[in-house]
Chain A
Amino acid sequence: MTVRSVILEQITRVGEQQRRQLAPLTDSLPLLDSGLDSLCLAIIVAGLDDELGLDPLSASDDVEFPVTLGEFIKLYENAAA
């Protein structure tokens, strides 16, 4: 599975678990408009840490927080590379 597909699956799963109505998951989708609140994002980030062993948002202090879903995925793809 690619990093991208793991992330998309994680988002869908957490959205269901938290009973969230999610917007279509496109790369240009701003995370704040996705239907995920910060608790959902926190759960997704923890889940990705468990599944991929990657936590790029904690890895360094000066990491720029991703605005869109595409940037979020890119951050993880770069960390995995």
Chain B
Amino acid sequence: MLQPSRRSLWDLVAPEAASPTRFLADPQTRILVRDLADSTTLSAKPETLRGLSVMISTDRQLLTALALIELDGIARRIVLCTPDLSPAFVQSAMIDGEVDVVVTDGGGPTREVDHTLKTIRIGTRLRETHVTADRSVDTEWILFTSGTTGRPKLAMHTLTSLVGPLVDNPAAGRIPVWSTFYDIRRYGGLQIMLRALAGGGSQVFSSAAEPVADFLKRAGECGVTHISGTPSHWRRALMSGATASMAPDYVRLSGEACDQAILDSLQRAYPHANVAHAFASTEAGVAFDVRDGKAGFPAALIDAKGSGVEMRVEDGSLRIRSSRTAARYLGDVAPALSNEVGFIDTGDLLELRGDRYYFIGRREGIINVGGQKVHPEAVEAVINEHPAVSVSRVSARKNPITGAIVVAEIVLKPTATPANAEFQAIVEEIRKLCHDRLDPHQVPVTFREVPSIEVAASGKLVRPRA
């Protein structure tokens, strides 16, 4: 579809007019945005990709960003490969996405895949070229969903739905330098990069290979002002002991249920920052952000009119309709993404307490204890309130009497490294906390101390299937 008035990512980035200091940086390279004008980093002229379906597969996020800036408005479709995609999913995405060309730095998940598609290389070396002025193609952006279990789906967005009316951008006193623990090939990370690029800012990319403390130090050196990640990302940052390496104005959490303990810990680590948590998903887009420092969100947001995002609660889960939702899933056997009136079921379950809604877990994560439901996240939120607990994970253990019982794993804060006897004392305190606040079937039967809990590439806790 051609839209003569369409503003492409290139137009939003506006390299020609960019401030001389705006940059994109990863651990290896820093590129000034204004140097992107009249140049390309592709091994072929961008014009040769006009109207084609392009898969981007790179090791480095910076190179994916450069490819997006060059190809939005020229390619018919861009399929963004997440770095950990299995070869089988890459192959089916090539078919479902009707991919014509692969743009790669030699890395990314297509490296493991035998294919006969044309390949174009991308690097960080800028070559002079006459950049095309015609970026009128309304490019489809195809993102893999970030579910922690099962086969990822391909959600179709456009630049318009991704950038949306970003009303929740915090006011910036200085030119913003954005960063994120997320990979920008995922919705949460892409959102942040698009905010940076469309909002006249710079972007610092994370790298999977980089230790958290090194990333925080680099963020500090790059002058990061705005930074986002999942609660799991942030817990790791707090555990690294290196949070003081940077001094952001805005700290954002999204992607997982956000409990009060992590909000309070981050506010203590960054007393001058605005600590906000947001709800967004690959399919539903950004719905809202909450800046009052409290977990949950005001109940008034549900069924509110005039914000551009409509939210409902049906069957206990959050439903969203807005211009930022994905258009559809790609593929022959793809399920419907939204219901007949355009509401997307996020699968995130809510509970109303007082005048706020709280996220209590994912529908597919419910543990069934003798017919009674337990939401792991709700139990974790209670455990995490104990001052010695850094992070916890609640899961199901098979049981011949009730089908399942609830068990918990706990990572203690580095400052609390007790001998086993002391751990038992902490467990008794946690058990009491749980008994006071939860129903008997929700209280974990066992508490096990573990050195760490695995975080998936998506930045979310890995949850074994119940």
| CB contact list, A24-59 vs B, under 8 A | 38-39, 41-43, 45-47, 50, 55, 57-58
The one of B370, B397, B431, B441 in contact with A46, judged by C-beta atoms closer than 8 angstroms, is B397
The one of B397, B400, B431, B445 in contact with A57, judged by C-beta atoms closer than 8 angstroms, is B400
A18 within 8 A of B: yes
B424 within 8 A of A: no
| B441 engages A50 (CB within 8 Å) | no
Please give the distance in Å from B308's CB to the nearest CB on chain A.
Answer: 46
Count of chain A residues with a beta carbon within 8 Å of a chain B beta carbon: 14
| A58 engages B398 (CB within 8 Å) | yes
Cβ contacts under 8 Å, B445 to chain A: 42-43, 46-47
| CB contact list, B358-379 vs A, under 8 A | 369-370
| B440 engages A45 (CB within 8 Å) | no
| A42 engages B401 (CB within 8 Å) | yes
| B446 engages A45 (CB within 8 Å) | no
Known: A18-B440, A39-B441. A45 touches B370 (CB 8 A): no
Q: List 29 A-B contacts (CB under 8 A).
A: A17-B431, A18-B440, A39-B369, A39-B370, A39-B402, A39-B440, A39-B441, A41-B401, A42-B369, A42-B370, A42-B399, A42-B401, A42-B402, A42-B445, A43-B405, A43-B445, A45-B401, A46-B397, A46-B399, A46-B405, A46-B445, A47-B445, A50-B446, A55-B400, A57-B400, A57-B401, A58-B398, A58-B399, A58-B400
Cβ contacts under 8 Å, A17 to chain B: 431
Please give the distance in Å from B68's CB to the nearest CB on chain A.
Answer: 51
Interface, chain A (partner B; CB < 8 A): 17-18, 38-39, 41-43, 45-47, 50, 55, 57-58
Cβ contacts under 8 Å, A50 to chain B: 446
**Contact string, B437-450, partner A, CB cutoff 8 A, digits 1/0?**
00011000110000
Cβ contacts under 8 Å, A41 to chain B: 401
- Tell me, in angstroms, the Cα distance from A73 to B399 when the chains sit together: 18
With A38-B402, A42-B405 given, can you name 5 additional A-B contacts, CB distance below 8 Å?
A18-B440, A39-B402, A39-B405, A50-B446, A57-B401
- Which of A42, A50, A55, A57 has the most chain B CB atoms inside 10 A of its CB? A42
Cβ contacts under 8 Å, B401 to chain A: 38, 41-42, 45, 57
- Tell me, in angstroms, the Cα distance from A58 to B399 when the chains sit together: 8
Please give the distance in Å from B343's CB to the nearest CB on chain A.
Answer: 37
- Tell me, in angstroms, the Cα distance from A58 to B397 when the chains sit together: 12
The one of B369, B400, B431, B441 in contact with A45, judged by C-beta atoms closer than 8 angstroms, is B400
- Tell me, in angstroms, the Cα distance from A42 to B445 when the chains sit together: 9
Interface, chain B (partner A; CB < 8 A): 369-370, 397-402, 405, 431, 440-441, 445-446
Cβ contacts under 8 Å, B431 to chain A: 17
- Tell me, in angstroms, the Cα distance from A20 to B400 when the chains sit together: 21
Please give the distance in Å from B1's CB to the nearest CB on chain A.
Answer: 58
| Nearest residue, chain A, Cβ from B439 | A39
- Which of A39, A41, A57, A58 has the most chain B CB atoms inside 10 A of its CB? A39
Known: A38-B402, A39-B402. A46 touches B446 (CB 8 A): yes
- Tell me, in angstroms, the Cα distance from A17 to B435 when the chains sit together: 10
| B370 engages A38 (CB within 8 Å) | yes
Cβ contacts under 8 Å, A45 to chain B: 399-401
- Tell me, in angstroms, the Cα distance from A20 to B401 when the chains sit together: 18
- Tell me, in angstroms, the Cα distance from A41 to B399 when the chains sit together: 10
Cβ contacts under 8 Å, B446 to chain A: 46, 50
- Tell me, in angstroms, the Cα distance from A47 to B399 when the chains sit together: 11
| Nearest residue, chain B, Cβ from A44 | B401
| Nearest residue, chain B, Cβ from A57 | B400
- Tell me, in angstroms, the Cα distance from A20 to B369 when the chains sit together: 19
Please give the distance in Å from A70's CB to the nearest CB on chain B.
Answer: 18
| Nearest residue, chain A, Cβ from B401 | A42
- The 10 A-B pairs with the shortest beta carbon distances in the complex, nearest first, are A57-B400, A42-B401, A42-B402, A58-B400, A42-B399, A41-B401, A43-B445, A42-B405, A38-B370, A39-B441
- Tell me, in angstroms, the Cα distance from A39 to B439 when the chains sit together: 11
| Nearest residue, chain B, Cβ from A58 | B400
| Nearest residue, chain A, Cβ from B372 | A39
Please give the distance in Å from B370's CB to the nearest CB on chain A.
Answer: 5
- Tell me, in angstroms, the Cα distance from A18 to B439 when the chains sit together: 11
- Tell me, in angstroms, the Cα distance from A45 to B400 when the chains sit together: 8
Cβ contacts under 8 Å, A39 to chain B: 369-370, 402, 405, 440-441
Cβ contacts under 8 Å, B402 to chain A: 38-39, 42
Please give the distance in Å from A2's CB to the nearest CB on chain B.
Answer: 23
- Which of A17, A43, A45 has the most chain B CB atoms inside 10 A of its CB? A43
